[in-house]
Structure 1
Amino acid sequence: MPDEAAQDRPAHPAERQPSPEFPDQSQEVPGHTGEMTPRPDHGEDSYRGCGRLRERRALITGGDSGIGRAVALAYAREGADVLFSYLPEEEEDAAETARLVTEAGRRAVPVACDIRWEEECRRLADRAVAAFGGLDVLVNNAAYQMARPDSIDEIDTEQFDRVMRTNLYGMFHLTRMCLPHLTEGGSVINTTSVQAYQPSPHLLDYAMTKGAIVTFTKGLAAHVAERGIRVNAVAPGPVWTPLIPATMPDTTGFGAKSAFGRPAQPAELAPAYVYLASQDAAFITAEVLNATGGAPLP
Protein backbone atom coordinates (compact mmCIF):
# COMPACT_ATOMS: atom_id res chain seq x y z
CA MET A 1 0.00 0.00 0.00
CA PRO A 2 1.21 3.55 -0.66
CA ASP A 3 2.56 5.64 2.20
CA GLU A 4 -0.31 8.14 2.58
CA ALA A 5 1.69 10.41 4.86
CA ALA A 6 4.42 10.60 2.23
CA GLN A 7 1.86 11.41 -0.45
CA ASP A 8 0.56 14.33 1.60
CA ARG A 9 3.99 15.90 2.03
CA PRO A 10 4.83 18.60 -0.52
CA ALA A 11 7.51 17.71 -3.03
CA HIS A 12 9.20 19.50 -5.89
CA PRO A 13 6.82 19.12 -8.87
CA ALA A 14 9.68 17.93 -11.06
CA GLU A 15 10.27 15.00 -8.72
CA ARG A 16 6.71 13.79 -8.19
CA GLN A 17 6.46 11.79 -11.41
CA PRO A 18 8.81 10.17 -13.97
CA SER A 19 10.94 12.42 -16.15
CA PRO A 20 12.46 11.80 -19.58
CA GLU A 21 14.40 10.20 -21.09
CA PHE A 22 11.72 7.57 -21.57
CA PRO A 23 12.33 4.39 -23.52
CA ASP A 24 11.68 4.88 -27.22
CA GLN A 25 8.33 3.27 -27.92
CA SER A 26 5.63 3.27 -30.56
CA GLN A 27 2.18 1.73 -30.84
CA GLU A 28 -0.57 1.40 -33.38
CA VAL A 29 -3.40 3.92 -33.07
CA PRO A 30 -5.24 4.33 -30.71
CA GLY A 31 -2.59 3.06 -28.26
CA HIS A 32 -2.95 0.99 -25.10
CA THR A 33 -2.03 1.76 -21.51
CA GLY A 34 -0.50 -1.62 -20.72
CA GLU A 35 2.20 -1.25 -23.36
CA MET A 36 3.54 2.07 -22.05
CA THR A 37 6.79 2.58 -20.15
CA PRO A 38 6.48 4.14 -17.65
CA ARG A 39 2.87 3.24 -16.97
CA PRO A 40 0.62 6.30 -16.69
CA ASP A 41 -0.63 7.26 -13.26
CA HIS A 42 -4.41 7.81 -13.18
CA GLY A 43 -4.62 8.28 -9.42
CA GLU A 44 -5.25 4.61 -8.67
CA ASP A 45 -3.17 4.77 -5.48
CA SER A 46 -3.40 8.47 -4.72
CA TYR A 47 -6.77 10.07 -5.44
CA ARG A 48 -8.99 10.29 -2.37
CA GLY A 49 -12.49 11.70 -2.79
CA CYS A 50 -14.50 13.71 -0.29
CA GLY A 51 -18.03 13.64 -1.73
CA ARG A 52 -17.75 16.72 -3.93
CA LEU A 53 -19.81 15.09 -6.70
CA ARG A 54 -22.13 12.95 -4.62
CA GLU A 55 -24.94 11.38 -6.66
CA ARG A 56 -23.96 13.28 -9.83
CA ARG A 57 -24.32 11.63 -13.24
CA ALA A 58 -21.44 12.14 -15.65
CA LEU A 59 -20.78 11.34 -19.29
CA ILE A 60 -17.10 11.33 -20.32
CA THR A 61 -15.88 10.76 -23.86
CA GLY A 62 -12.59 8.91 -24.27
CA GLY A 63 -12.84 7.51 -20.76
CA ASP A 64 -10.93 4.31 -21.40
CA SER A 65 -7.43 5.72 -20.79
CA GLY A 66 -5.36 8.81 -20.18
CA ILE A 67 -7.08 11.93 -18.88
CA GLY A 68 -10.51 10.37 -19.42
CA ARG A 69 -9.72 7.41 -17.16
CA ALA A 70 -8.26 9.66 -14.48
CA VAL A 71 -11.37 11.86 -14.55
CA ALA A 72 -13.69 8.84 -14.41
CA LEU A 73 -11.81 7.46 -11.42
CA ALA A 74 -11.80 10.82 -9.61
CA TYR A 75 -15.49 11.44 -10.32
CA ALA A 76 -16.39 8.00 -8.98
CA ARG A 77 -14.37 8.51 -5.81
CA GLU A 78 -16.14 11.86 -5.41
CA GLY A 79 -19.50 10.09 -5.55
CA ALA A 80 -20.58 10.25 -9.21
CA ASP A 81 -21.89 7.54 -11.52
CA VAL A 82 -19.98 7.49 -14.80
CA LEU A 83 -20.90 6.58 -18.37
CA PHE A 84 -17.92 6.78 -20.70
CA SER A 85 -17.26 6.20 -24.37
CA TYR A 86 -14.39 4.30 -25.95
CA LEU A 87 -13.48 2.92 -29.35
CA PRO A 88 -14.11 -0.81 -29.91
CA GLU A 89 -10.38 -1.47 -30.18
CA GLU A 90 -9.92 0.01 -26.68
CA GLU A 91 -11.98 -2.69 -24.98
CA GLU A 92 -9.21 -3.81 -22.61
CA ASP A 93 -8.51 -0.31 -21.33
CA ALA A 94 -12.25 0.40 -21.04
CA ALA A 95 -12.71 -2.67 -18.84
CA GLU A 96 -10.04 -1.38 -16.46
CA THR A 97 -11.71 2.03 -16.20
CA ALA A 98 -15.04 0.34 -15.49
CA ARG A 99 -13.37 -1.76 -12.79
CA LEU A 100 -11.94 1.33 -11.09
CA VAL A 101 -15.30 3.13 -11.10
CA THR A 102 -17.12 0.07 -9.76
CA GLU A 103 -14.46 -0.48 -7.12
CA ALA A 104 -15.16 3.05 -5.91
CA GLY A 105 -18.76 1.99 -5.26
CA ARG A 106 -20.31 3.81 -8.20
CA ARG A 107 -22.05 2.70 -11.37
CA ALA A 108 -19.89 2.34 -14.50
CA VAL A 109 -21.48 2.26 -17.97
CA PRO A 110 -18.88 1.76 -20.72
CA VAL A 111 -20.17 2.36 -24.25
CA ALA A 112 -18.22 1.48 -27.41
CA CYS A 113 -18.84 4.49 -29.64
CA ASP A 114 -17.11 6.47 -32.38
CA ILE A 115 -18.13 10.08 -31.79
CA ARG A 116 -17.07 11.13 -35.29
CA TRP A 117 -20.58 10.29 -36.44
CA GLU A 118 -23.72 12.17 -35.45
CA GLU A 119 -25.84 9.04 -35.06
CA GLU A 120 -23.26 7.58 -32.66
CA CYS A 121 -23.38 10.75 -30.56
CA ARG A 122 -27.16 10.45 -30.42
CA ARG A 123 -26.88 6.82 -29.34
CA LEU A 124 -24.39 7.79 -26.62
CA ALA A 125 -26.60 10.58 -25.26
CA ASP A 126 -29.67 8.34 -25.33
CA ARG A 127 -27.78 5.61 -23.50
CA ALA A 128 -26.78 8.04 -20.75
CA VAL A 129 -30.33 9.26 -20.27
CA ALA A 130 -31.66 5.69 -20.23
CA ALA A 131 -29.03 4.63 -17.69
CA PHE A 132 -29.18 7.62 -15.36
CA GLY A 133 -32.46 9.42 -16.11
CA GLY A 134 -30.56 12.61 -16.91
CA LEU A 135 -27.12 14.20 -16.71
CA ASP A 136 -25.28 16.58 -14.44
CA VAL A 137 -21.85 16.69 -16.08
CA LEU A 138 -20.66 16.29 -19.68
CA VAL A 139 -16.91 16.00 -20.27
CA ASN A 140 -15.93 16.32 -23.94
CA ASN A 141 -12.49 14.75 -23.72
CA ALA A 142 -11.99 12.36 -26.66
CA ALA A 143 -9.47 13.57 -29.24
CA TYR A 144 -7.28 12.42 -32.09
CA GLN A 145 -3.94 13.67 -33.39
CA MET A 146 -1.20 12.45 -35.69
CA ALA A 147 2.15 14.23 -35.83
CA ARG A 148 3.30 15.28 -39.31
CA PRO A 149 6.72 16.84 -38.79
CA ASP A 150 7.74 17.62 -42.35
CA SER A 151 5.00 19.52 -44.15
CA ILE A 152 1.35 20.51 -44.29
CA ASP A 153 1.30 18.40 -47.46
CA GLU A 154 1.49 15.30 -45.23
CA ILE A 155 -1.94 16.04 -43.79
CA ASP A 156 -4.20 14.27 -46.26
CA THR A 157 -7.97 14.53 -46.37
CA GLU A 158 -8.45 11.28 -44.46
CA GLN A 159 -6.38 12.50 -41.52
CA PHE A 160 -7.88 15.99 -41.59
CA ASP A 161 -11.40 14.59 -41.52
CA ARG A 162 -10.59 12.25 -38.64
CA VAL A 163 -9.09 15.05 -36.55
CA MET A 164 -11.96 17.44 -37.26
CA ARG A 165 -14.70 14.87 -36.79
CA THR A 166 -13.27 13.47 -33.55
CA ASN A 167 -12.26 16.73 -31.92
CA LEU A 168 -14.98 19.09 -33.17
CA TYR A 169 -17.92 17.29 -34.76
CA GLY A 170 -18.17 14.85 -31.88
CA MET A 171 -18.02 17.58 -29.25
CA PHE A 172 -20.58 19.73 -31.06
CA HIS A 173 -23.11 16.99 -31.77
CA LEU A 174 -22.85 15.33 -28.36
CA THR A 175 -23.18 18.63 -26.52
CA ARG A 176 -26.23 19.57 -28.58
CA MET A 177 -27.86 16.23 -27.80
CA CYS A 178 -27.00 16.27 -24.09
CA LEU A 179 -27.99 19.86 -23.29
CA PRO A 180 -31.74 19.12 -23.06
CA HIS A 181 -30.97 16.54 -20.38
CA LEU A 182 -28.48 18.54 -18.32
CA THR A 183 -29.93 19.66 -15.03
CA GLU A 184 -29.93 23.21 -13.71
CA GLY A 185 -26.57 23.64 -12.06
CA GLY A 186 -25.03 21.20 -14.52
CA SER A 187 -21.65 21.54 -16.14
CA VAL A 188 -20.01 21.03 -19.54
CA ILE A 189 -16.22 20.66 -19.47
CA ASN A 190 -14.21 20.56 -22.68
CA THR A 191 -10.60 19.45 -23.10
CA THR A 192 -8.62 21.98 -25.10
CA SER A 193 -4.80 22.21 -25.04
CA VAL A 194 -1.74 24.40 -24.83
CA GLN A 195 -1.78 23.82 -28.60
CA ALA A 196 -4.70 26.26 -28.84
CA TYR A 197 -2.31 29.08 -27.92
CA GLN A 198 1.14 27.75 -28.83
CA PRO A 199 0.57 25.52 -31.86
CA SER A 200 3.30 23.08 -32.81
CA PRO A 201 3.84 22.95 -36.58
CA HIS A 202 3.81 19.14 -36.56
CA LEU A 203 0.32 19.16 -34.97
CA LEU A 204 -1.21 21.85 -37.16
CA ASP A 205 -4.64 20.29 -37.71
CA TYR A 206 -4.93 19.17 -34.08
CA ALA A 207 -3.97 22.66 -32.85
CA MET A 208 -6.68 24.17 -35.08
CA THR A 209 -9.32 22.11 -33.33
CA LYS A 210 -8.07 23.01 -29.87
CA GLY A 211 -8.34 26.70 -30.68
CA ALA A 212 -11.89 26.13 -31.89
CA ILE A 213 -12.73 24.37 -28.63
CA VAL A 214 -11.76 27.50 -26.68
CA THR A 215 -14.11 29.58 -28.84
CA PHE A 216 -16.90 27.01 -28.54
CA THR A 217 -16.51 26.96 -24.76
CA LYS A 218 -16.83 30.71 -24.38
CA GLY A 219 -19.70 31.02 -26.85
CA LEU A 220 -21.71 28.14 -25.41
CA ALA A 221 -21.21 29.43 -21.87
CA ALA A 222 -22.98 32.66 -22.79
CA HIS A 223 -25.70 30.74 -24.61
CA VAL A 224 -26.71 28.50 -21.68
CA ALA A 225 -25.97 30.72 -18.66
CA GLU A 226 -29.66 31.59 -18.22
CA ARG A 227 -30.40 27.88 -17.89
CA GLY A 228 -27.98 27.63 -14.99
CA ILE A 229 -25.48 25.49 -16.91
CA ARG A 230 -21.77 26.32 -16.73
CA VAL A 231 -19.32 25.67 -19.57
CA ASN A 232 -15.57 25.63 -19.02
CA ALA A 233 -12.46 24.00 -20.43
CA VAL A 234 -9.17 22.56 -19.26
CA ALA A 235 -6.02 23.24 -21.31
CA PRO A 236 -3.40 20.57 -20.58
CA GLY A 237 0.20 20.78 -21.66
CA PRO A 238 2.08 17.55 -22.39
CA VAL A 239 0.38 14.57 -20.72
CA TRP A 240 1.64 10.97 -20.75
CA THR A 241 -1.22 9.02 -22.36
CA PRO A 242 -1.48 6.21 -24.97
CA LEU A 243 -2.06 8.82 -27.67
CA ILE A 244 1.60 9.85 -27.39
CA PRO A 245 3.39 6.62 -28.38
CA ALA A 246 0.62 5.98 -30.93
CA THR A 247 0.96 9.32 -32.73
CA MET A 248 4.38 10.86 -32.02
CA PRO A 249 7.55 9.84 -33.86
CA ASP A 250 9.86 10.14 -30.83
CA THR A 251 8.68 9.77 -27.23
CA THR A 252 12.06 9.74 -25.48
CA GLY A 253 12.04 13.43 -24.56
CA PHE A 254 8.30 13.97 -24.36
CA GLY A 255 7.46 16.78 -21.93
CA ALA A 256 11.09 17.63 -21.20
CA LYS A 257 10.58 21.25 -22.25
CA SER A 258 7.95 21.96 -19.60
CA ALA A 259 8.99 24.09 -16.65
CA PHE A 260 9.28 20.94 -14.55
CA GLY A 261 11.17 18.96 -17.17
CA ARG A 262 8.56 16.26 -17.55
CA PRO A 263 5.03 15.61 -18.83
CA ALA A 264 2.02 15.59 -16.55
CA GLN A 265 0.49 12.32 -15.52
CA PRO A 266 -3.29 11.97 -16.08
CA ALA A 267 -3.83 11.95 -12.30
CA GLU A 268 -2.49 15.50 -12.13
CA LEU A 269 -5.19 16.77 -14.51
CA ALA A 270 -8.20 15.08 -12.90
CA PRO A 271 -8.58 17.55 -9.98
CA ALA A 272 -9.17 20.38 -12.46
CA TYR A 273 -12.15 18.51 -13.91
CA VAL A 274 -13.47 17.73 -10.42
CA TYR A 275 -13.25 21.37 -9.42
CA LEU A 276 -15.05 22.65 -12.54
CA ALA A 277 -17.84 20.08 -12.11
CA SER A 278 -18.30 20.82 -8.41
CA GLN A 279 -20.21 23.55 -6.62
CA ASP A 280 -16.87 25.04 -5.59
CA ALA A 281 -16.85 26.45 -9.15
CA ALA A 282 -20.50 27.62 -9.08
CA PHE A 283 -19.57 31.16 -10.20
CA ILE A 284 -17.11 30.09 -12.87
CA THR A 285 -18.12 29.80 -16.51
CA ALA A 286 -16.57 30.60 -19.91
CA GLU A 287 -13.12 30.01 -18.41
CA VAL A 288 -10.13 27.94 -19.52
CA LEU A 289 -8.20 26.38 -16.66
CA ASN A 290 -4.60 26.12 -17.81
CA ALA A 291 -2.64 23.08 -16.64
CA THR A 292 0.30 23.42 -18.98
CA GLY A 293 3.30 22.80 -16.75
CA GLY A 294 4.43 26.40 -16.83
CA ALA A 295 3.70 27.49 -20.40
CA PRO A 296 2.34 31.06 -20.11
CA LEU A 297 -1.01 31.38 -21.86
CA PRO A 298 -3.41 34.29 -22.42
Structure 2
Amino acid sequence: MKKPNKFPEQKQSLPGEEAMMTPQPEVINANYKGSEKLKGKIALITGGDSGIGRSIAVHFAREGAAVAILYLNEKTDAENTKKLIEKENQKCILIEGDLKDEKFCQSSVQKVIKELGGLNIVVNNAGLQFSENKVENITKEHLQETFETNIYPFFYIVKEALPHLKKDDTIINTTSVTAYRGSEHLLDYSSTKGAIVTFTRSLATMLAKKGIRVNAVAPGPIWTPLIVATFDKVSDFGQDTPMGRAGQPSEVGPAYVFLASQDSSYITGQIIHINGGEIVGS
Protein backbone atom coordinates (compact mmCIF):
# COMPACT_ATOMS: atom_id res chain seq x y z
CA MET A 1 0.00 0.00 0.00
CA LYS A 2 1.27 3.44 -0.92
CA LYS A 3 1.47 5.64 2.18
CA PRO A 4 -0.38 8.86 1.23
CA ASN A 5 0.94 12.32 2.08
CA LYS A 6 -2.49 13.90 1.87
CA PHE A 7 -5.99 12.67 2.72
CA PRO A 8 -9.36 13.75 1.31
CA GLU A 9 -11.34 15.94 3.68
CA GLN A 10 -13.92 13.98 5.68
CA LYS A 11 -15.67 14.23 9.02
CA GLN A 12 -17.27 11.74 11.37
CA SER A 13 -18.74 11.89 14.85
CA LEU A 14 -16.91 10.28 17.77
CA PRO A 15 -15.72 7.58 18.15
CA GLY A 16 -15.47 7.19 14.36
CA GLU A 17 -15.88 4.18 12.07
CA GLU A 18 -13.05 2.67 10.06
CA ALA A 19 -15.52 1.30 7.53
CA MET A 20 -16.41 4.88 6.54
CA MET A 21 -12.85 6.20 6.09
CA THR A 22 -11.23 7.16 2.79
CA PRO A 23 -8.70 5.76 2.19
CA GLN A 24 -9.01 2.71 4.39
CA PRO A 25 -6.15 2.42 6.91
CA GLU A 26 -3.65 -0.35 6.24
CA VAL A 27 -4.12 -3.01 8.91
CA ILE A 28 -1.17 -5.29 8.20
CA ASN A 29 1.54 -5.15 5.57
CA ALA A 30 1.12 -7.78 2.88
CA ASN A 31 4.76 -8.81 3.41
CA TYR A 32 4.38 -9.40 7.16
CA LYS A 33 5.04 -13.08 7.85
CA GLY A 34 4.01 -14.58 11.16
CA SER A 35 6.44 -16.90 12.93
CA GLU A 36 4.40 -18.19 15.89
CA LYS A 37 5.87 -15.63 18.29
CA LEU A 38 2.60 -15.68 20.25
CA LYS A 39 1.50 -19.25 19.60
CA GLY A 40 -1.03 -20.40 22.18
CA LYS A 41 -1.27 -17.00 23.86
CA ILE A 42 -4.52 -15.25 24.73
CA ALA A 43 -4.78 -11.49 24.37
CA LEU A 44 -7.30 -8.89 25.52
CA ILE A 45 -7.28 -5.63 23.55
CA THR A 46 -9.38 -2.62 24.49
CA GLY A 47 -10.43 -0.55 21.48
CA GLY A 48 -9.45 -3.47 19.29
CA ASP A 49 -12.21 -2.97 16.76
CA SER A 50 -10.43 -0.39 14.58
CA GLY A 51 -7.34 1.70 14.00
CA ILE A 52 -4.25 0.73 15.95
CA GLY A 53 -6.27 -1.75 18.00
CA ARG A 54 -7.37 -3.64 14.90
CA SER A 55 -3.82 -3.78 13.63
CA ILE A 56 -2.61 -5.13 16.97
CA ALA A 57 -5.32 -7.78 16.93
CA VAL A 58 -4.56 -8.99 13.41
CA HIS A 59 -0.81 -9.04 14.01
CA PHE A 60 -1.34 -11.03 17.22
CA ALA A 61 -3.56 -13.49 15.36
CA ARG A 62 -0.99 -13.95 12.60
CA GLU A 63 1.53 -14.74 15.32
CA GLY A 64 -0.74 -17.44 16.78
CA ALA A 65 -2.74 -15.72 19.53
CA ALA A 66 -6.45 -15.89 20.28
CA VAL A 67 -7.90 -12.41 20.73
CA ALA A 68 -10.66 -10.79 22.78
CA ILE A 69 -11.72 -7.34 21.59
CA LEU A 70 -13.42 -4.83 23.87
CA TYR A 71 -15.22 -2.07 22.00
CA LEU A 72 -17.79 0.63 22.71
CA ASN A 73 -20.51 0.37 20.05
CA GLU A 74 -18.84 0.16 16.62
CA LYS A 75 -20.45 -3.14 15.63
CA THR A 76 -19.49 -3.07 11.95
CA ASP A 77 -15.83 -2.38 12.67
CA ALA A 78 -15.76 -5.03 15.41
CA GLU A 79 -17.32 -7.68 13.18
CA ASN A 80 -14.91 -6.83 10.35
CA THR A 81 -11.96 -7.20 12.71
CA LYS A 82 -13.27 -10.53 13.93
CA LYS A 83 -13.41 -11.75 10.32
CA LEU A 84 -9.79 -10.69 9.80
CA ILE A 85 -8.72 -12.61 12.90
CA GLU A 86 -10.66 -15.71 11.92
CA LYS A 87 -9.05 -15.49 8.48
CA GLU A 88 -5.77 -16.01 10.36
CA ASN A 89 -7.33 -19.21 11.79
CA GLN A 90 -7.49 -17.82 15.31
CA LYS A 91 -10.40 -17.50 17.71
CA CYS A 92 -11.86 -14.08 18.43
CA ILE A 93 -14.54 -12.95 20.85
CA LEU A 94 -16.18 -9.52 20.83
CA ILE A 95 -17.25 -7.78 24.03
CA GLU A 96 -19.32 -4.61 23.69
CA GLY A 97 -19.56 -2.08 26.49
CA ASP A 98 -18.30 1.08 28.15
CA LEU A 99 -14.83 0.92 29.67
CA LYS A 100 -15.73 3.78 32.02
CA ASP A 101 -17.82 1.21 33.90
CA GLU A 102 -15.58 -0.73 36.29
CA LYS A 103 -18.04 -3.61 36.48
CA PHE A 104 -17.96 -3.96 32.69
CA CYS A 105 -14.15 -4.14 32.79
CA GLN A 106 -14.30 -6.79 35.50
CA SER A 107 -16.89 -8.92 33.73
CA SER A 108 -15.00 -8.62 30.44
CA VAL A 109 -11.83 -10.06 31.93
CA GLN A 110 -13.82 -12.91 33.44
CA LYS A 111 -15.50 -13.58 30.10
CA VAL A 112 -12.10 -13.82 28.41
CA ILE A 113 -10.91 -16.30 31.04
CA LYS A 114 -14.06 -18.39 30.69
CA GLU A 115 -14.40 -18.40 26.89
CA LEU A 116 -10.75 -18.44 25.81
CA GLY A 117 -9.29 -20.37 28.72
CA GLY A 118 -6.86 -17.85 30.22
CA LEU A 119 -5.09 -14.56 29.67
CA ASN A 120 -1.48 -13.78 28.78
CA ILE A 121 -1.43 -10.37 27.13
CA VAL A 122 -3.34 -7.25 28.19
CA VAL A 123 -3.35 -4.32 25.77
CA ASN A 124 -4.84 -1.11 27.17
CA ASN A 125 -5.39 0.75 23.92
CA ALA A 126 -8.79 2.46 23.85
CA GLY A 127 -8.75 6.25 23.93
CA LEU A 128 -10.83 9.36 23.30
CA GLN A 129 -9.95 12.95 22.47
CA PHE A 130 -11.69 16.29 22.04
CA SER A 131 -9.96 19.07 20.13
CA GLU A 132 -10.05 22.43 21.93
CA ASN A 133 -7.62 25.35 21.61
CA LYS A 134 -8.62 27.23 24.77
CA VAL A 135 -8.35 25.80 28.28
CA GLU A 136 -11.39 27.78 29.39
CA ASN A 137 -13.48 25.93 26.81
CA ILE A 138 -12.65 22.49 28.18
CA THR A 139 -15.82 21.59 30.01
CA LYS A 140 -15.96 19.56 33.19
CA GLU A 141 -17.95 16.93 31.30
CA HIS A 142 -15.34 16.54 28.55
CA LEU A 143 -12.49 16.55 31.06
CA GLN A 144 -14.17 13.84 33.08
CA GLU A 145 -15.02 11.74 30.03
CA THR A 146 -11.45 11.96 28.71
CA PHE A 147 -9.86 10.83 31.96
CA GLU A 148 -12.49 8.17 32.69
CA THR A 149 -11.99 6.72 29.19
CA ASN A 150 -8.24 7.10 28.75
CA ILE A 151 -6.72 6.14 32.11
CA TYR A 152 -9.28 4.82 34.63
CA PRO A 153 -9.92 1.59 32.65
CA PHE A 154 -6.20 0.80 32.74
CA PHE A 155 -6.55 0.38 36.50
CA TYR A 156 -9.85 -1.51 36.24
CA ILE A 157 -8.59 -4.00 33.64
CA VAL A 158 -5.19 -4.59 35.25
CA LYS A 159 -6.67 -5.10 38.73
CA GLU A 160 -9.01 -7.77 37.42
CA ALA A 161 -6.44 -9.40 35.12
CA LEU A 162 -3.49 -9.63 37.51
CA PRO A 163 -4.64 -12.74 39.42
CA HIS A 164 -4.65 -14.58 36.08
CA LEU A 165 -1.30 -13.35 34.77
CA LYS A 166 1.91 -15.25 35.45
CA LYS A 167 5.62 -15.04 34.77
CA ASP A 168 6.42 -14.01 31.17
CA ASP A 169 2.95 -12.57 30.60
CA THR A 170 2.75 -8.96 29.46
CA ILE A 171 0.84 -5.70 29.74
CA ILE A 172 1.14 -3.14 26.94
CA ASN A 173 -0.30 0.36 27.11
CA THR A 174 -0.95 2.85 24.33
CA THR A 175 0.26 6.35 25.17
CA SER A 176 1.08 9.10 22.63
CA VAL A 177 3.74 11.46 21.35
CA THR A 178 1.63 14.20 22.96
CA ALA A 179 2.68 12.92 26.38
CA TYR A 180 6.22 14.09 25.57
CA ARG A 181 5.81 17.26 23.54
CA GLY A 182 2.32 18.32 24.57
CA SER A 183 -0.45 19.51 22.27
CA GLU A 184 -1.96 22.97 22.10
CA HIS A 185 -5.35 21.60 21.04
CA LEU A 186 -5.42 18.36 23.05
CA LEU A 187 -4.66 19.53 26.59
CA ASP A 188 -6.79 17.03 28.50
CA TYR A 189 -5.98 14.16 26.12
CA SER A 190 -2.22 14.73 26.31
CA SER A 191 -2.52 14.92 30.10
CA THR A 192 -4.04 11.45 30.21
CA LYS A 193 -1.32 10.16 27.91
CA GLY A 194 1.31 11.51 30.28
CA ALA A 195 -0.47 9.66 33.08
CA ILE A 196 -0.23 6.47 31.02
CA VAL A 197 3.56 6.86 30.75
CA THR A 198 3.87 7.11 34.53
CA PHE A 199 1.35 4.30 35.04
CA THR A 200 3.47 2.09 32.76
CA ARG A 201 6.73 2.82 34.55
CA SER A 202 5.26 2.45 38.03
CA LEU A 203 3.39 -0.77 37.25
CA ALA A 204 6.48 -2.22 35.59
CA THR A 205 8.46 -1.66 38.76
CA MET A 206 5.65 -3.11 40.86
CA LEU A 207 5.38 -6.31 38.81
CA ALA A 208 9.02 -6.91 37.84
CA LYS A 209 9.63 -9.43 40.64
CA LYS A 210 6.65 -11.44 39.42
CA GLY A 211 8.17 -11.64 35.94
CA ILE A 212 5.26 -9.74 34.36
CA ARG A 213 6.55 -7.11 31.95
CA VAL A 214 4.81 -3.76 31.40
CA ASN A 215 5.67 -1.50 28.47
CA ALA A 216 4.00 1.04 26.20
CA VAL A 217 3.91 2.36 22.67
CA ALA A 218 3.74 6.10 21.93
CA PRO A 219 2.37 6.61 18.42
CA GLY A 220 2.62 9.90 16.58
CA PRO A 221 0.09 10.83 13.86
CA ILE A 222 -1.50 7.56 12.71
CA TRP A 223 -4.39 7.35 10.22
CA THR A 224 -7.26 6.03 12.37
CA PRO A 225 -11.00 6.70 12.87
CA LEU A 226 -10.21 8.89 15.88
CA ILE A 227 -8.54 11.40 13.55
CA VAL A 228 -11.50 11.93 11.24
CA ALA A 229 -13.83 12.05 14.25
CA THR A 230 -11.74 14.69 16.05
CA PHE A 231 -10.40 17.19 13.53
CA ASP A 232 -12.28 19.37 11.04
CA LYS A 233 -9.33 19.33 8.62
CA VAL A 234 -7.39 16.14 7.84
CA SER A 235 -5.88 16.74 4.39
CA ASP A 236 -2.47 17.71 5.81
CA PHE A 237 -2.57 15.32 8.77
CA GLY A 238 0.92 14.06 9.62
CA GLN A 239 2.77 16.19 7.06
CA ASP A 240 4.67 18.06 9.76
CA THR A 241 6.64 14.95 10.75
CA PRO A 242 10.25 14.56 9.54
CA MET A 243 9.04 11.77 7.23
CA GLY A 244 6.41 14.12 5.82
CA ARG A 245 3.40 11.85 6.21
CA ALA A 246 1.12 10.17 8.72
CA GLY A 247 1.76 6.58 9.73
CA GLN A 248 -0.49 3.62 9.10
CA PRO A 249 -1.72 1.21 11.82
CA SER A 250 0.28 -1.50 10.03
CA GLU A 251 3.43 0.38 11.00
CA VAL A 252 2.49 0.31 14.69
CA GLY A 253 1.14 -3.20 15.22
CA PRO A 254 4.51 -5.02 15.00
CA ALA A 255 5.81 -3.08 18.02
CA TYR A 256 3.09 -4.68 20.14
CA VAL A 257 4.08 -8.11 18.87
CA PHE A 258 7.65 -7.39 19.93
CA LEU A 259 6.60 -6.26 23.41
CA ALA A 260 4.22 -9.19 23.84
CA SER A 261 6.76 -11.82 22.79
CA GLN A 262 9.91 -13.23 24.31
CA ASP A 263 11.92 -11.11 21.90
CA SER A 264 11.57 -8.35 24.52
CA SER A 265 12.22 -10.55 27.55
CA TYR A 266 14.67 -8.04 29.12
CA ILE A 267 12.52 -4.96 28.51
CA THR A 268 10.07 -3.52 31.02
CA GLY A 269 8.95 -0.02 31.94
CA GLN A 270 9.90 1.30 28.49
CA ILE A 271 8.16 3.24 25.74
CA ILE A 272 8.57 2.62 22.00
CA HIS A 273 8.16 5.80 19.92
CA ILE A 274 6.57 5.38 16.49
CA ASN A 275 6.11 8.89 15.20
CA GLY A 276 7.71 9.44 11.81
CA GLY A 277 11.03 10.70 13.15
CA GLU A 278 10.10 13.24 15.80
CA ILE A 279 12.77 13.26 18.52
CA VAL A 280 11.19 13.29 21.98
CA GLY A 281 12.38 12.57 25.50
CA SER A 282 12.43 8.96 26.57
Q: Normalising by the residue count of structure 1, what TM-score does the alignment of the two structures yield?
A: 0.92
Q: Which residue of 1 aligns with 2:68?
A: 83
Match of 1:296 among 257, 275, 279: 279
| CA deviation profile, 1:125-153 (whole Å, cap 9, x unmatched) | 1111111222110000000001112x112
| CA deviation profile, 1:26-51 (whole Å, cap 9, x unmatched) | 00111111221111000164432111
Match of 2:249 among 240, 244, 266: 266
C-alpha RMSD of matched pairs (Å)? 1.1
Q: Which residue of 2 aligns with 1:11?
A: none
Give the partner amino acid of 1:246. A
Take 2:3 and 2:167, find their aligned partners in 1: how far apart are those partners? Answer: 38
Q: Which residue of 2 aligns with 1:13?
A: none
Q: CA contact under 8 A between 1:27 and 1:245: conserved in structure 2?
A: yes
Q: Structure 1 unaligned runs (5+)?
A: 1-6, 8-15
Q: Which residue of 2 aligns with 1:12?
A: none
Take 1:147 and 1:107, find their aligned partners in 2: how far apart are those partners? Answer: 37
Q: Does 1:171 align with 2:138?
A: no
Take 2:68 and 2:14, find their aligned partners in 1: how far apart are those partners? Answer: 23
Q: Which residue of 2 aligns with 1:18?
A: 4
Q: CA deviation at 1:123?
A: 1.2
Q: Does 1:186 align with 2:169?
A: yes
Take 1:53 and 1:140, find their aligned partners in 2: how far apart are those partners? Answer: 18
Take 1:34 and 1:213, find their aligned partners in 2: how far apart are those partners? Answer: 29
Q: Secondary structure at the match of 2:168?
A: strand
Q: CA contact under 8 A between 1:143 and 1:166: conserved in structure 2?
A: yes
Q: CA deviation at 1:220?
A: 0.3
Q: Which residue of 2 aligns with 1:33?
A: 18
Structure 1 residue runs of 4+, over 2 Å off? 44-48
Q: Secondary structure at the match of 1:121?
A: helix
Q: Structure 2 unaligned runs (5+)?
A: none
Deviates more, 1:244-253 or 1:279-288: 244-253
Match of 1:55 among 40, 50, 70: 40
Deviates more, 1:32-41 or 1:184-193: 32-41
Match of 1:212 among 173, 195, 201: 195
Q: CA contact under 8 A between 1:67 and 1:266: conserved in structure 2?
A: yes
Q: CA contact under 8 A between 1:184 and 1:229: conserved in structure 2?
A: yes
Distance change >3 Å, CA 75–CA 135, structure 1 → 2: same
Give the partner amino acid of 2:54. R
Take 2:72 and 2:157, find their aligned partners in 1: how far apart are those partners? Answer: 16
Take 1:95 and 1:154, find their aligned partners in 2: how far apart are those partners? Answer: 36
Match of 2:79 among 75, 90, 95: 95
Q: Does 1:108 align with 2:92?
A: yes
Q: Secondary structure at the match of 2:173?
A: strand
| CA deviation profile, 1:45-67 (whole Å, cap 9, x unmatched) | 44321111000000000000000
Match of 1:154 among 130, 137, 152: 137
Q: Normalising by the residue count of structure 2, what TM-score does the alignment of the two structures yield?
A: 0.97
Q: CA contact under 8 A between 1:134 and 1:183: conserved in structure 2?
A: no
Take 2:276 and 2:176, find their aligned partners in 1: how far apart are those partners? Answer: 12
Q: Secondary structure at the match of 1:19?
A: coil
Q: CA deviation at 1:184?
A: 1.4
Q: CA deviation at 1:105?
A: 0.6
Take 1:287 and 1:116, find their aligned partners in 2: how far apart are those partners? Answer: 26
| CA deviation profile, 1:240-291 (whole Å, cap 9, x unmatched) | 0000010112111100101111111000000100000000000100000111
Q: CA contact under 8 A between 2:19 and 2:76: conserved in structure 1?
A: no
